[in-house]
Amino acid sequence: MNTKTDPALSSPPARLSTAVILAAGRGTRMKSERPKVMHPLAGRPMLRYLLDNAAQVFDRIVVVIGPGMDDVAALAAPHAVVVQHDRLGTGHAARQAESVFGYGDVAVLYGDNPLITPGTMRALLAQRRCDDTGLALLAMEPADPAKYGRVVTHDGQVVRIVEWADATPAERAIGLCNAGVLCADAADFRRWLDGISNDNAQGEYYLGDVVARAVADGRHVRAVVAPEDELRGINSRAELAQAEACVQARLRQAAMAGGTTLVAPDTVFLCADTVLEPDTVVHPHVVFGPGVHVRRGTEIHAFSHVEGAVVGPDAQIGPYARLRPGTDVGAQARVGNFVELKATTLGAGAKASHLTYLGNATVGARANIGAGTITCNYDGVFKHATEIGADSFIGSDSVLVAPVRVGARALTAAGSVITHDVPDGAMALGRARQANRAGHADTFRDRLKKKKEQG
C-alpha cells in the first residue's frame, strides 16, 4: 500500500496579500450617470490610480462593483471582479469578496479614495505584520477635521472609532480622523465581517464596525497616519476638483524633478501619461491632454493646448497653438500662434508660424507654411490627405484642397486655391484674374447711400 502523500497537498496554502477595492458607488452626489470611480483625474479614471498603486504592493486585487458596471469591470481587468447586487453598505460590499480573500493579509480600500500611494499601502501592510497587530487602519490629521469620524486611542492602540454625530465634545476635539481603510488576516476579517450588524438608522452594514469587533476580540488595533491629500475621499464634484488639484501638484513636481522648467507651475495642467523630457520648457497656461510626449529641448509657449501628439526635439510651439491627436512635430520645427495641427506630420525644421490649419497632412523638412493657409481635408464623408514636399513654400492664404500633393521645392502663390498636384520645383497660381473698374467704387458707394436714405 502506497502511503506517500503529495507534498503539494500536504503543504499549507500560500499566504498572499490581497487588496479588495470597493467600487460599487453610483456617484449619486455627483449628479452623474457615470459610476463614481470612472470620473477622471488628470485624464485617467480615478480607479486606475488605485489599481496601479495597489498592484505594486499586493499579490492579488479584487474589485467589488455594482450591477451593470461593465465599464468598471473592463477597467479592472485582468483583476478579479465580484458584484454587490444589493447596496447595503461598505461592510456588505466587503462581504461579497470573502470567498476570494484567500489566505494571508487582506486590505479593504475604496475606489473613490484613489490617491493612496504605494508607500502608504506598504506601511499599512507592515503595521499589520508587526507587534502582534490584529487590525491596522489608515488615519489622518486633516487641517479641518470637520465631521470625519474620530480615532480614539489609548497607549498607542485604537480603542474605538466614533462618528462625529455620536462624539462627545472631548472626542470631537481629537485631531486623528478615520480614513476607513482596514487591513487584517483573512480569517479574522471574515469572522469580524460576519459579526457586524445592520442595526442602525440606515439599515446598512458598515465596514468601520470591524474595528469594534477586533477590539472585542482582544486584538491590538493600530493606526497608520498618512497625509490628508492621500486619504481624501471623492463624493462630489467639489471634492473631485480638490483631488484634481492634488494630482496636478504631484505631476508638476515630478515634471520639474525630471528636468522640465515650468515657468508658472500652477497654471500648467498635465495628464497622468504626459511625458516631458529633460530640458523642456513650458510657459504659463499650457494644457496637456492624454497621449503627449514632448522631447528634449522643446519649448511650449503660453496658452497652447497639446493632446495626442509627439513634439520635438528642440521644437518651438505657440503661443496659442493647438496640437490635436495624431500630430508629430519634427526636430526644430516651429508651430506658431493660432496654428492648429490634426493628424499631421510636420517635418524637421518646417515652419507654420501663424493663422494656419493643417489636417491629415504630411509636411516635408524645412517647408514654410504661409499665414492663413488651410488644408481642406474633409468632404463631409471622408478625410483626405495633403502632401507638402521638403523645402516647399506655401504662400499666405493658400487653400489646399485634398487629396493633393505639392512637390519638393515647389511654391504656391499667395491667395491660391490648389486643387491639382504641383510638380517638384514648380510654381502654382490658383487665383481668379483681377479686373480694375475705374470709378466703380465711388458710384457703388453713392448708390448704397441713396438706398439707405430711402429707408
**Which cell is 278 given?**
529633460
CATH number for the domain spanning 167: value is 3.90.550.10
Task: Check residue 444 and give its pLDDT.
Answer: 86
Provide the pLDDT for residue 72. Answer: 95
Residue finishing a domain among 231, 263, 283: 231
* Residue 394 confidence (pLDDT): 97
pLDDT value at residue 6? 46
pLDDT of residue 11 exceeding 80, the answer is: no
Residues 198 and 267 in one domain: no
Query: pTM of the predicted model, to two decimals?
Result: 0.87
pLDDT tens figures, 69-94: 999 999 999 999 999 998 888 899 99
Q: Which residues are annotated as a binding site for Mg(2+)?
A: 112, 235
Domain that holds residue 251: 237-428
Instruction: Find which of 129-133, 346-350, 376-380 is predicted with most confidence, using mean pLDDT.
Output: 346-350
Give per-residue pLDDT as tens, 190-216: 999 999 888 877 788 888 889 999 999
Give Cα 129 to chain centroid, integer Å.
33
Q: Beta-carbon neighbour count of residue 431 at 10 Å?
A: 11
Q: Verify that 269 and 189 share a domain, yes or no.
A: no
- Identify the pLDDT of residue 297: 98
From 231, 246, 271, give the residue that closes a domain: 231
Same domain, 217 and 290: no
Is residue 1 predicted with pLDDT exceeding 80?
no
Name the nearest CA neighbour of 121 among 40, 175, 186, 182.
Answer: 182
**Over residues 329-342, mean pLDDT:** 98
Looking at the fold, whether 171 and 253 belong to one and the same domain comes out as no
Query: Which residues sit in the known binding site?
Result: 22-25, 36, 84, 89-90, 110-112, 149, 163, 178, 235, 324, 342, 357, 368, 371, 377-378, 396, 414, 431
Q: Supply the residues annotated as catalytic.
A: 354
**Residue 329, beta-bridge partner list:** 311, 346
Domain contains 434? no
Diameter of the chain by CA atoms?
A: 122
Residue 455 lies in a domain: no
What total number of domains does the chain contain? 2
For residue 232, is pLDDT > 90? Answer: no
Element (H, E) at 125: helix 118-128
Residues flagged as binding site for UDP-N-acetyl-alpha-D-glucosamine: 22-25, 36, 84, 89-90, 110-112, 149, 163, 178, 235, 324, 342, 357, 368
| pLDDT tops 80 at residue 131 | no
- Burial level of 189, CB count in 10 A (0-12/13-18/19+)? buried
pLDDT in tens, 156-179: 899 988 888 888 899 899 999 999
